[in-house]
Amino acid sequence: MRITQDMLYSNFLSNINNVNTQLYNTQTQMATGKSVNNLSDNPIALSQILTISDIQTRFDQYKSNINYANSLLSAQDTATQNISQLLQNSGSLIIQAANATNDIASNTAIAQQLQAVEAEIKNSANTMFGGNYLFSGFLTNTAPVQNITQQAAIINNPSNNAFQITTSKNFGDLNQFQSGTYTVNITSGKLSITDSNGNVISISSDGIDRSSAGGDVLSNSADISNLLQTGGWFNTGRGIKIYIPKGASGSFTFSYSPGGNNVYVGDNNNLAIAYSDGLNTPITINAKDMLYMQHQTLQSNNLLLNSSNDPATAQTKLVDLHLANALSNVALQTGQRIVLTGIDHNGNIVSGPAFLVSANATVSQLLNYITHLSTQEVLQNNTTLTLSDGTIANGTTTISQLTNGSAIIIRGLNHSGMSTTISFSANTTVSAMLTSIGRVFNVTATINHGIIHIADNKVGSSVLNIAIQTKSNSIPVFGLFNSISHGISNAFLGTVSACIQHGKIVIQDLRGGTSKLNLSINVVSSANIFGVFNTIQQGGGIDVFDAFDNAQAAILGQSVNQISKATGFSAGSTLMPTISGYYTGNNSQNWTFSVSGSSSDITASHTITIMDSKNQNIGKITMGVASGIFKITVLDSKNNAIASYATAANSNDAIASFLNTTQIQLPDGLNLTLAPQKINGTYVTPLLKNGDSFSIKLTNMLQQSITNIQDSLSQVDANRSVIGAYEQRMQLAQKRIDNTSLSNAQTLSNLQDANYAKIISDYQREITIMQALLQSFAKINQLSLFNYL
């Protein structure tokens, strides 16, 4: 190989450049303190460094999020702690107010303190943080608790009827009307209300607030026949009262805007933050969650998937549904029918036409079907049918075995109000009798465990009324048939919501109060593919501000204590009890009215003893015929007579008519009417049966307010626990990030921090090499190639 002078120069220059590069890198490491400054320094290490640095950057953002969350949670905790303390103080104030020795001035002072406490709770609920409201959901610029003007105005009032309308506080277990236009219809002594689309809006069945005394019953219409005789106000329970002129009929239209004192106007959303890779958590609650008890919510336990095996949505077609954890390969087919069974808020039986699965039917359409369901009227006898040997009756039992050989006659009204009578001989079986009842009255009649159950085959309001009596003397032989379910068309409209969340169907009761909602979605003649519906939230619908308002009114003597409807006799008496008046008692009570005396008709001597919740005697009612006079006497707990009523006992019908119009004065401001039933315009023989009984619930609203505030305190404390859980989650996330960041920092240090001892050694070595190369290059530069030959 031929060596030239240029080759010698190039070789030396290359070596000098290499050493110079090494020296530059060493000097860079000395200046930066980093061992890796360029990709060429250590590609593998640099890749690891960049990855870890990216993680550290994300951790910095998470730390910032967590710091913000901690500050916000601390503010929420302070506010809710203040509300909790205020509620505890208010409970003590109400207990003071319950002291019967207080004078008017003392009670007025307590009411004023409660008003101040209520205002403080509202202020805490409207707490701001960083210029935003803490408890408004996403509406952070809106104060969550506000006073909203509730408005109602008649739009079209016929000139011949002086109807009036005014706003009122909705009953505690009923929601207000929604904003819109409504029409009031008065026909045949009944009042009903429809919305702008013609849908019937359910209202209180009697206009009396019983939200705390057994619960209000919604109805498609209310009987106002008595009110029409004099004129007066009727409360719908849904936020308005209507003045009904004497003899009024026809219709009028009104507009309505919901509102009231201390209304929640935020939304249901909760602010959430990312606190780690792929992990988000809510960090707020809203005032509605904090101050209102949750309504009952049902959730199916079966996950519905779409054709892509993703959680189903409202737009998913029913025929495309796939199921997770299904018992078998179940799928909906076109032409199948879906039904929803169970009970509504009040325990009424739910019914309605089945939902037909079409090729294009979606989950959304099924949910719409659910929210428009009706309830079905059902009658049930109130005593178990047993034979003389104690055996429970069934379908094969003969009428003779139940009536000691007597034939029976069935009288009543069908769904449309048509009068019907059927007779059966003593040897007819119960099964044959029920089949005939079902055919004639258009009902489904069954017997189960000795109880006859009669379900109207038409949904909606009904006048179904059936009595089964001995043919000879018209004495009920199977007990009274009471309505255990009230038929309401579109009963779920505006009272139940249905949606699908993360592939599971969720049904929520929108009414407050104690709920009995219990539903099941079934495919007719097939498996239940939607799964069991379990309660995931249960609450009493308690509004803390309502509790304060009720307490203040009760302390000042302005509130009306509540009286429940009487349960009805349970063992064969023909008189229907109705309780009215104004309860003046100081304690919430359950009163039981028990009959003793002959089990013959009302002319015999009877005593009704009244006992309270502690089985203490409240008083008694005696009645019977003596010397041709039917007399009722009311005695107090010390056997002092407090009221008496009498009429000539010319006939059972005369006594029945007298009972129907007589209000029997009871202790503590109550009145009792024992009205006989009428079949085909004729009174059923008035009968009180020995051992029979009925009961009522009496609610003192001051005591109820204490309970409601305690429930509200439990709700607030439960949400404080939620906030505490969020804070703990943030603390754990902070600790985990700090530990991981420290580990990452050590790894970064190991990967990129320079070793100064090694760098100095390398630097000195590279300087020495560079100097030697330069000296050698200088000598080479002075010689020619011939010097080496």
What DSSP character marks residue 246?
T
Q: To the nearest 10°, the Cα dihedral for 647, 649, 653, 657?
A: 10
Q: Would you state the pLDDT for residue 567?
A: 84
In 333-426, beta strands by DSSP E = 337-343, 350-351, 355-356, 374-381, 408-413, 419-424
In angstroms, rounded to a whole number, what is the distance separating the alpha carbons of residues 635 and 665? 10
For residues 608-625, average pLDDT: 95
Write out the DSSP string of 323-339.
ESS-SS-----TT-EEE
The more confidently predicted of residues 494 and 753 is: 494
Contact between 285 and 270 under an 8 Å Cβ cutoff? The reply is yes
pLDDT band at 44 (very low <50, low <70, confident <90, very high): low
Q: Is the model's pLDDT at 602 over the cut of 90?
A: no
In angstroms, rounded to a whole number, what is the distance separating the alpha carbons of residues 651 and 231? 34
Buried b / exposed e along 364-381 (16+ C-beta atoms within 10 A):
eebbebbbbbbbbbbbbb
For residues 117-128, average pLDDT: 95
In angstroms, rounded to a whole number, what is the distance separating the alpha carbons of residues 631 and 644? 7
Tell me if residue 45 falls in helix, strand or coil.
helix
Distances (CA, A) of 591 to 217, 480, 567, 641, 668: 21, 21, 11, 19, 12
Tens of pLDDT, residue by residue over 626-678, are 999 999 999 999 999 999 999 998 888 899 999 999 999 999 999 999 998 77
As beta bridge partners, residue 182 has: 195, 254
Distances (CA, A) of 609 to 40, 281, 307, 599, 692: 102, 60, 66, 16, 11
Q: Is the model's pLDDT at 525 over the cut of 80?
A: no
Distances (CA, A) of 283 to 181, 536, 756: 39, 21, 47
pLDDT band at 159 (very low <50, low <70, confident <90, very high): low
Residues near 681 by beta carbon (within 8 Å), at least 6 away in sequence:
none
Average pLDDT over all residues of the chain: 85
Q: Would you state the pLDDT for residue 452?
A: 93
Residues near 383 by beta carbon (within 8 Å), at least 6 away in sequence:
478, 479, 570, 571, 572
pLDDT band at 472 (very low <50, low <70, confident <90, very high): confident
What DSSP character marks residue 787?
G
Distances (CA, A) of 215 to 8, 129, 254, 563: 108, 40, 27, 10
Contact between 87 and 716 under an 8 Å Cβ cutoff? The reply is yes
Q: Is the model's pLDDT at 305 over the cut of 60?
A: yes
Residue with tokens 């906030």: 723
Q: Is the model's pLDDT at 113 over the cut of 90?
A: yes
Q: Would you state the pLDDT for residue 536?
A: 80
Q: Is the model's pLDDT at 150 over the cut of 90?
A: yes
Q: In what order do the strands lie in the sheet with 355-356?
A: 355-356, 337-343, 518-523
Tell me if residue 308 falls in helix, strand or coil.
coil
In angstroms, rounded to a whole number, what is the distance separating the alpha carbons of residues 312 and 488? 32
Q: Is the model's pLDDT at 756 over the cut of 60?
A: no
Picking from 101-115, 564-578, 695-709, which range would have the lowest pLDDT averaged per residue? 564-578
Kindly state the tokens that stand for 708: 């409601």
Tens of pLDDT, residue by residue over 243-262, are 999 988 889 999 999 998 88
In angstroms, rounded to a whole number, what is the distance separating the alpha carbons of residues 427 and 410? 15
Contact between 342 and 519 under an 8 Å Cβ cutoff? The reply is yes
In angstroms, rounded to a whole number, what is the distance separating the alpha carbons of residues 63 and 66? 5
Tens of pLDDT, residue by residue over 414-455, are 888 888 889 999 999 999 999 999 999 999 999 999 999 999
pLDDT band at 740 (very low <50, low <70, confident <90, very high): confident
Q: What number of CA atoms fall less than 13 Å from residue 11's CA on the CB side?
A: 9
Picking from 147-151, 476-480, 488-492, 519-523, which range would have the lowest pLDDT averaged per residue? 476-480
Picking from 87-91, 509-513, 535-539, 689-693, which range would have the lowest pLDDT averaged per residue? 535-539
Burial class from Cβ neighbours inside 10 Å (0-12, 13-18, 19+) for residue 268 reads exposed
Q: Is the model's pLDDT at 327 over the cut of 50?
A: no
Q: Is the model's pLDDT at 42 over the cut of 60?
A: no
Kindly state the tokens that stand for 766: 């590279």
Q: Is the model's pLDDT at 328 over the cut of 70?
A: no
3-state secondary structure labels for all residues of 662-681: CCEECHHHEEEEEEECEECC
Q: Would you state the pLDDT for residue 754?
A: 55
Kindly state the tokens that stand for 733: 């996330």
In angstroms, rounded to a whole number, what is the distance separating the alpha carbons of residues 533 and 506? 8
Domain boundaries, the chain: 5-33+754-788, 150-258, 298-373+501-537, 376-485, 562-699
Per CATH, the number for 376-485 is 2.60.40
Which pairs with CB-CB distance under 8 Å and at least 24 residues apart come from 605-614?
606/688, 608/688, 610/666, 610/667, 613/589
Tens of pLDDT, residue by residue over 176-203, are 998 999 999 999 899 999 999 888 888 9
The more confidently predicted of residues 209 and 61 is: 209
Contact between 425 and 413 under an 8 Å Cβ cutoff? The reply is no
Q: Would you state the pLDDT for residue 49?
A: 58
Interior angle at CA 491, CA 488 and CA 492, nearest 5? 170
Greatest distance between any 2 Cα atoms in the chain: 165
Residues near 106 by beta carbon (within 8 Å), at least 6 away in sequence:
none
Residues near 489 by beta carbon (within 8 Å), at least 6 away in sequence:
200, 220, 374, 459, 460, 461
Write out the DSSP string of 349-366.
BEE-PPEEP-TT-BHHHH
Q: Would you state the pLDDT for residue 9?
A: 65
**Rg from Cα positions in the chain:** 40
Kindly state the tokens that stand for 779: 């000598």
In 236-311, beta strands by DSSP E = 240-244, 250-257, 260-264, 272-276, 279-282, 297-300, 304-305
Q: Would you state the pLDDT for residue 747?
A: 64
Q: Is the model's pLDDT at 605 over the cut of 90?
A: yes
Q: Would you state the pLDDT for residue 463?
A: 81
For residues 336-349, average pLDDT: 89
Tell me if residue 738 falls in helix, strand or coil.
helix
Q: To the nearest 10°, the Cα dihedral for 522, 525, 526, 532?
A: 30
In angstroms, rounded to a whole number, what is the distance separating the alpha carbons of residues 407 and 423? 8
- How many residues appear in the chain? 789
In angstroms, rounded to a whole number, what is the distance separating the alpha carbons of residues 236 and 177? 10
Tens of pLDDT, residue by residue over 270-285, are 899 988 887 888 999 9
Residue with tokens 């009984």: 693
In angstroms, rounded to a whole number, what is the distance separating the alpha carbons of residues 336 and 193? 35
Q: Would you state the pLDDT for residue 41?
A: 55
Contact between 204 and 218 under an 8 Å Cβ cutoff? The reply is yes
In angstroms, rounded to a whole number, what is the distance separating the alpha carbons of residues 49 and 45? 6
In angstroms, rounded to a whole number, what is the distance separating the alpha carbons of residues 293 and 287? 11
Kindly state the tokens that stand for 295: 């309504």
End-to-end CA distance of the chain: 15
Picking from 376-390, 613-627, 732-746, which range would have the lowest pLDDT averaged per residue? 732-746
Q: Is the model's pLDDT at 785 over the cut of 60?
A: no
